[in-house]
Structure formats: C-alpha cells, structure tokens
C-alpha cells in the first residue's frame, strides 16, 4: 500500500521533508518495505517550491484543501507557532488523518488537548522532531526504555546555547559575537530570545517530562533560566575548576513530585555531557533497569530535522492501515516540585569592594543561612575595585542560598547581583 503525505509549510524543515520524500524513497523502501509518496504541499508562499520537481504533487495555498485531500493519509504540520498550526492539526485529526509535527511550542502548551483528539479519532499524533531534532529520544522513552522507571534525564537540547557556551569556553569569545555567528549559521531562532532565554529548551523539557512520567506538565510550572547572565569570567573561572557550563534541562521524580527545570549548569569535565560541543544536542537518561543511556546528534537544521519527521511518517506507514498503537496516556497528575527545595552545590561569584572584613561578612551570612563553603578564591589583585570572589558551596538548598544572597546583595560593598550557577 502507498502512504500519501501532505506537507503544510514549505519553509526550512518543510523543504527538508519534501527533499527527503522525493529523493530517499529507496532507503525508506529498503528499511520499511513501504512506499511513501508526497501528494500535496500547502503554503502561503510557494516560492521555495521552485527548486523541486513536483510532478504529480498538488500544490496549494490552502491547508484545508490539503487536509481534505483523499490521497493524503498523513498530514505534516511544519509551520510552527501556536495558531494556525493548532487548528490545522485538530482539523486533520478530526478528519481521521495521522499527524506528524515538529512543533515543540505547540506541544508544550497544548499536548493534552492534541493527544485527546488523536485518541478520540483513533489516529496517531507523532512529534519525534520536536525534541532534539535527529535524536530518537521520544522513541527511546516510549519504546526502548518502556520497561524502566526513569530516574533522571539531563539534556543539552538547544544547539544555539551549546554553540555559544562552547565557543566562549574554548576561544574566549564574547557572548554577543558568538550569538551573531549562531544566527548566521541558521540554527538560532529568529529572534533568538527563545533560545538564549531558555524557553526553547523548556518546551522540550515539558514534552520529555510528560513522557518520562506519564503526567501532564504545565510549561508555566517549570523553572527557566537562560544563558544571558553567563559571562566570559564565569566560563573561564569554572573551567579552571574543572567544569563546563551547559544549558541543561533536568527532569526527575522526587518524593512524588516532578523536578523539571532549565538553567545553566556546571557539568564536571569527566561527565559525558561535558564533551558535547558546539551545536550538538545530547540527552543522558538514567533508569532503573537499563541504567545510563546517552543519545547524541544534531538538534536542528533542515535535513537533520526532516530525518526525524520522515521516520515518524514511515512508522505510521509500517502499520499499513492497521489500528494506531496504544496511544500515549497521562496516567498520573504529578505536581512540579518547588525550586526552593532543590538540593545541590552552588558556584557563586560575589562582586565586591576589596576591604578588610568584607569576605568575613559574606561568609558569615552564608553560614547564618546554613550554607557551608567548600572553597573561596579572590580572583583579582589586591587593590582592584571591585573584585570577584568565587565561592563553591557544599550541598545545600536553593532556598537557603537565595536567602543568603538577598542579604549579600544588599550589602553596601556589593557592586552587582551575585552570579550563581548550579552544579550538576
């Protein structure tokens, strides 16, 4: 049987999917025995389609025409954003069509409603490309690791941030210069705020947390901190201490609640995630039966993302019209844990005047809040003003560190808000 595909959105990823369907039918057939045919493409701007030979493919500016095309059984939504993507997906599901999407923001905000529509209509909603592009992490969680309780997930899931942090660390470049290069290379969002403020990673974090623990996870409940506060000094100082700064999504279950958070994290040099450089993504999953597994690859880009979209289409085609498999179900309704309860080590850079007694006051405040200091170094020459005092704490709670910093930052000698980075 031939599986007919419709692609809504002929932009970067859509173009990659069209290219793959037109050129890699042989590989698809060899691996799956299926014939997958592009039947219909819809976009308001048809210019990008000029590069393709679309003989036999319907081209339209109306997504509704594509959804109702009887030759289309799988609809790919590749326009991104919330609307009209959500409407198109719901219309396709309600019309009995399977849907494949790469739309992480939409899923992070509306997955329960979309999943429910897929279940009700007995069709599939698949979104492997929405999280870390080429990396089959959704398949790993739903299939490869299905016998496991997930202990923790640590993910580098934004290529732009990892590219910036890598080049700041290895070449001592300034944040703004590297950001411009990431934008020029085409993997940063336009504008790149979703990347550098951590929201793109948060979308992926919410999707993975839901899958890992079979629970709806509201985006608003996640703690999200991007990399705009990371300075060259912090990258250099922490590198001397044996760490790489990475923007991580961290997901785990603690005492019946979900920890789901996104923030810059100091990853020890010996951890596998410290070796993930430039725009590459990687996800480290710890589970009770399989133990540790690591997934690595490109998280963005025209063809890498298309690879994941087309793999979802092929999986649907493999069923050859048989009923959709057991859908993803929310079995639990777990709360997201308060950030103040987090336990861990903290890197602190206090920027202060170099005067006798200042360091004593800072350490006394930390001690008063029960925060024990593992190391303390003044990074500048005596006489410089202000100076950087770098502290590493022992394990403590986020609430205690934050309470201490509120007092330290209010001291008259403190020159700017203390820089804080959590340690893995």
- Chain residues in the site for ligand HSE (CB under 6 A): 158-160, 187-189, 195, 200, 299-300
Rounded to a whole number of angstroms, the minimum distance from the CB of residue 287 to ligand HSE is 25
SS (H, E, C) 174-185: CHHHHHHHHHHH
Q: Residue 201 CB, nearest distance to ligand HSE (Å)?
A: 8
- Beta pairing partners, 267: 244
Q: Work out how close the CB of 254 gets to ligand HSE at its nearest, in angstroms, rounded to a whole number.
A: 27
CA distance 411 to 424: 29
Alpha helices in 140-291 (DSSP H): 159-171, 175-185, 193-196, 199-213, 232-240
Residues in the chain: 424
- In the bound state with ligand HSE, the residue whose beta carbon lies nearer, of 188 and 209, is 188
CB 43 to ligand HSE: min, Å: 19
195: left (phi over 0), alpha (psi -120 to 50) or beta: alpha
Question: Whose CA is closest to 250, among 262, 238, 240, 234?
Answer: 262
Separation CA 11–CA 317 (nearest Å): 24
Which two three-digit tokens encode residue 157?
Answer: 């899931």
Nearest to 169 by CA among 227, 231, 229, 228: 231
Residue recorded with tokens 């509704």: 64
* Letter string b/e over residues 101-118, b meaning 16 or more CB atoms within 10 A of that residue's CB: bbbbbbbbbbbeebbebb
We find the least distance from the C-beta atom of residue 78 to ligand HSE, in angstroms, to be: 12
Nearer to ligand HSE, 4 or 192 (CB): 192
Chain centroid to Cα 178, Å, comes to 20
Give least dist CB 112 to ligand HSE, A.
21
Q: Which secondary structure element, helix H or strand E, spans residue 396, and what is its range? A: strand 396-397
φ/ψ (deg, to 5) at 260: -140, 110
- 16 vs 159, beta carbon nearer ligand HSE: 159
Provide the 10 A C-beta neighbour count for residue 359. 18
Closest separation in Å from C-beta 131 to ligand HSE: 8
Active site residue 204: yes
Element containing residue 104 per DSSP (H, E): helix 104-120
Among the listed residues 97, 104, 204, 246, the single catalytic one is 204
For ligand HSE, the closer CB: 39 or 154: 154
**Bridge partner list, 268:** 243
Which tokens sit at 210? 């839901």
State which residue, 187 or 213, has the beta carbon closest to ligand HSE: 187
The DSSP secondary structure of 354-369, one letter per residue, reads --TTHHHHHHHHHHHT
Q: Which is nearer to ligand HSE, 161 or 371 (CB)?
A: 161
**Three-class SS of residue 372?**
coil
Q: Which is nearer to ligand HSE, 295 or 347 (CB)?
A: 295
For residue 133, say if its preceding peptide bond is cis, omega within 30 degrees of 0.
no
Nearer to ligand HSE by Cβ, of 169 and 352: the residue is 169
CB of 182 to ligand HSE, least distance (A): 7
Contact yes or no for 226/203 (Cβ under 8 A): no
Active centre residues (catalytic)? 204
């Amino acid at each position: 049987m031939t599986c007919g595909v419709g692609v809504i959105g002929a932009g970067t990823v859509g173009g990659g999917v069209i290219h793959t369907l037109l050129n890699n039918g042989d590989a698809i057939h060899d691996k799956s025995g299926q014939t997958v045919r592009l039947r219909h493409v819809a976009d308001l701007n048809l210019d990008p389609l000029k590069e393709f030979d679309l003989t036999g493919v319907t081209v339209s500016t109306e997504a509704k025409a594509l959804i109702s095309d009887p030759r289309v059984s799988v609809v790919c939504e590749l326009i991104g954003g919330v609307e009209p993507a959500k409407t198109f997906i719901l219309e396709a599901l309600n019309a009995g069509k399977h849907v494949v999407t790469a739309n992480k923001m939409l899923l992070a905000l509306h997955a329960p409603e979309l999943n429910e529509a897929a279940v009700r209509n007995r069709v599939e909603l698949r979104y492997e490309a929405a999280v870390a592009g080429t990396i089959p992490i959704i398949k790993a969680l739903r299939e490869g690791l299905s016998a496991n309780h997930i202990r923790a997930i640590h993910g580098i899931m934004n290529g732009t941030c990892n590219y910036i942090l890598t080049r700041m660390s290895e070449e001592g470049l300034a944040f703004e210069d590297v950001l411009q290069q990431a934008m020029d290379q085409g993997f940063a969002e336009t504008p790149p705020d979703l990347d550098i403020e951590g929201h793109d990673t948060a979308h992926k974090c919410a999707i993975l947390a839901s899958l890992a623990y079979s629970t709806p996870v509201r985006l608003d409940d996640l703690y999200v901190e991007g990399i705009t506060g990371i300075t060259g000094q912090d990258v250099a100082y922490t590198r001397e201490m044996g760490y790489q700064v990475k923007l991580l999504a961290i997901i785990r279950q603690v005492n019946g609640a979900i920890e789901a958070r996104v923030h810059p994290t100091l990853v020890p040099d010996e951890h596998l995630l410290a070796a993930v450089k430039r725009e590459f993504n990687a996800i480290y999953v710890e589970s009770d039966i399989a133990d540790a597994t690591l997934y690595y690859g490109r998280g963005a880009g025209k063809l890498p993302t298309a690879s994941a979209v087309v793999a979802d289409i092929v999986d649907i085609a493999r069923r050859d019209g048989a009923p959709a498999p057991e859908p993803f179900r929310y079995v639990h309704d777990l709360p997201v844990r308060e950030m103040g309860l987090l336990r861990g080590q903290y890197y602190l850079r206090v920027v202060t005047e170099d005067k006798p007694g200042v360091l004593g006051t800072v350490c006394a405040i930390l001690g008063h809040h029960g925060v024990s200091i593992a190391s303390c170094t003044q990074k500048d020459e005596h006489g410089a003003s202000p100076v950087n005092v770098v502290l590493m704490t022992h394990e403590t709670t986020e609430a205690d560190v934050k309470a201490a910093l509120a007092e330290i930052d209010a001291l008259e000698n403190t020159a700017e808000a203390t820089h804080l980075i959590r340690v893995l």
